[in-house]
Chain A
Amino acid sequence: MDTTGRRQRTEVQADVSVVRWLRSALFHSYLRRFVLLWIAGKIANAATASAIHLSPFAFRPGTEIVLLGFELGVIVVFIKRNNEDVLLGNLGLRLPAALAPLAMVHFVLSALLAVLAG
């Protein structure tokens, strides 16, 4: 601890850049869980689509938004249950901003899968 004198303290304490956040072990742990949820959601969605004779892995925007909402909802519950929203808050990070990259991951993976399966 600095005991050499009174430090000048800036108004901005927390400063987590996007790059730092995307490279962090915490974001990576959310990303791993999110990908598992995406896989689970895709399997469930493919089974439902097949049952009604639709292409199982086609990119349907409405369905993708519903799936994304479910995946993010589970992640948010997980974060809040572990009080990690306090950790993010102390770093100056709002939950929507912290999780926004995961939405992009969802759409990229789903589009990629649709192309590969198409």
Chain B
Amino acid sequence: MNAPILTGDSITLALGGNAILESAYVDAVAGEITALVGRSGAGKTTFFKVLVGERRPTRGQVRWRGERIARPSLPLLARKGLFYHPDRPWLARHLTFVDHMALSDKRDWHQVAESLGITGWVQRKVGSLSEGELRLTELAVGFALQPAVALLDEPFRGLEPLHREQVAHALRSLAGNGVAVLYADHDVESVRRTADRLISIEGGATRLVEGFKERPLHDWYHAWPL
């Protein structure tokens, strides 16, 4: 296995006396798709917010290629090669996909747009897109930035089956090109098809699940709400 690029190590976060994360660990490894899996409220989104500096952990550290980042922030990590897709819409509603790409010096976005099937609306304002179209457009903007790490919070949410398959294909293509993909999801069957590694999170604690593709679901995740 390659060395991790982005690591959240021993992250503990308490809010109002409640432990949201407890010595949680996650990492993103070049060329691999890692899924952080847990039910709603398990701490997935909070963990991602800690990684990009939106939340300050009580304890623990964020590392980039092994080097501790004292005060992580999205701009800082983006300049190193991170793309962060949060669980809320984040593109400018009054701009088009093409307008967004004009913000960056990356000109090679046509292939990304084609692979995610968004070519039909690259000139439409983001605010006029459906939820599924918006999700794909957000991912296309991020992937076109050619990140070293893609940190994606529920990238499949709100997508139709065809679009889900396009996103899964895009993730595999990114990983095939050496990108470290780390995404949060709660759809275990989708994770089984897409991810190379699985880290489960429950009650703010994480654990690496070995052999999740072969083992029956109840064997490794007893508490999963089926």
* A residues adjacent to B (C-beta < 8 A): 1-3, 5-7, 9-17, 20-21, 24-26, 29, 82-94
Contact = CB atoms under 8 A, between A and B. Distances in A.
User: Which among A5, A7, A9, A93 has the highest number of chain B CB atoms within 10 Å?
Assistant: A9
A12 to B, nearest CB: 6
30 contacts: A1-B111, A2-B108, A2-B177, A3-B173, A3-B177, A6-B177, A6-B178, A7-B146, A9-B147, A9-B179, A11-B80, A13-B148, A14-B78, A16-B104, A17-B105, A20-B102, A24-B103, A25-B99, A26-B99, A26-B103, A29-B94, A83-B86, A83-B88, A86-B84, A89-B52, A89-B75, A89-B78, A90-B141, A91-B75, A94-B73
Secondary structure of the A side of the interface? loop
A90 B89 contact: no
Nearest to A87: B90
Contact of A91 (B78, B80, B174, B179): B78
B31 to A, nearest CB: 8
Interface in B167-212: 170, 173-174, 176-179
Interface residues of B, number: 45
List the 4 closest pairs (A to B, CB-CB), nearest first.
A89-B74, A86-B90, A92-B79, A83-B90
Interface of B: 31, 52, 73-75, 78-84, 86, 88-95, 99-100, 102-105, 108, 111-112, 115, 141-143, 145-148, 170, 173-174, 176-179
Nearest to A12: B79
A87 B79 contact: no
Given A12-B79, A26-B92, A91-B103, 7 more contacts: A13-B78, A13-B82, A26-B103, A86-B90, A89-B52, A89-B78, A92-B79
B170 A14 contact: no
Contacts of A1: 111-112, 115, 143, 170, 173-174, 177
B75 A12 contact: no
A32 to B, nearest CB: 10
A81 to B, nearest CB: 11
B193 to A, nearest CB: 19
Contacts of A13: 78-83, 145-148
Contacts of A85: 74
A42 to B, nearest CB: 25
A40 B145 CA distance: 38
Contacts of A83: 86, 88-90
User: Which among A3, A7, A82, A92 has the highest number of chain B CB atoms within 10 Å?
Assistant: A92
